[in-house]
Amino acid sequence: MASAPVEVFAVCSANAIERSGARSFSLSRIDESGEARPFPIVVVRSHRDEYVGYVNSCPHSGVWLNIGSGDFFTADRAFLRCGRHGAAFEIESGLCIQGPCEGKSLQPIALAVVDGEVCLCGVDLVEEAPPNPFADDAEETMDIMIHPE
Ligand code: FES
């Protein structure tokens, strides 16, 4: 069966992320040329119990925010922070308020909580791998991986 773009994509159970916590996911998305590209994201559940999502890429040099320790937050957990050079970002806006990329923002991702699931909206994700003539199990190949903590 051919790959089909999806409009809404359940990423995880809303309860799988604790309040003031975050989880990262390595997804694949379809770019403008129709190619599958890595799409690392982070989903944050704020202390106000809102879910926000960003591309997990620091605007300074593009590394995962949780590079190094694996943590996404400043010590007081008031801001997201980049593990490489310590840039701090507002959790609910993604704006960098301190660090080498001050004034720039994380790339936001539209999220919705539907039936207790955190869902991505409006992103063409790779839900199935392209047909592989050498594989006979190319049926369930959704590419979701949680980074090791
Ligand atoms: S790579 Fe994130 S602050 Fe430098």
Would you say residue 46 lies in a domain?
yes
Would you say residue 131 lies in a domain?
no
Angle 66-71-77 from CA coordinates, rounded to 5° = 120
Pocket test for ligand 1, best of 56, 61, 105 (most atoms within 8 A of CB): 61
Residue 96 belongs to domain with CATH number: 2.102.10.10
Residue 77: give the domain boundaries: 8-121
| Per-residue model confidence (pLDDT) at position 128 | 54
Domain total of the chain: 1
**Residues in CB range of 132: below 8 A, 6 or more apart:** 138
Q: Are 89 and 81 in contact (CB under 8 A)?
A: yes
CA dihedral of 78, 80, 83, 84, whole degrees rounded to 10: -110
| Per-residue model confidence (pLDDT) at position 1 | 56
| Per-residue model confidence (pLDDT) at position 129 | 46
Would you say residue 2 lies in a domain?
no
82 lines ligand 1 (CB under 6 A): yes
Would you say residue 115 lies in a domain?
yes
| Per-residue model confidence (pLDDT) at position 83 | 96
**Ligand 1 centre and the CA of 12: distance in Å?**
27
| Per-residue model confidence (pLDDT) at position 140 | 36
Q: How many CA atoms lie within 13 A of 98 on its CB side?
A: 9
pLDDT in 10s for each residue of the chain, 149 residues: 555 555 788 999 999 999 999 999 999 998 889 899 999 999 999 999 999 999 999 999 999 999 999 999 999 999 999 999 999 999 999 999 999 999 999 999 999 999 999 999 988 888 754 444 444 443 333 444 444 44
* 45 bridge partner residues: 21, 51
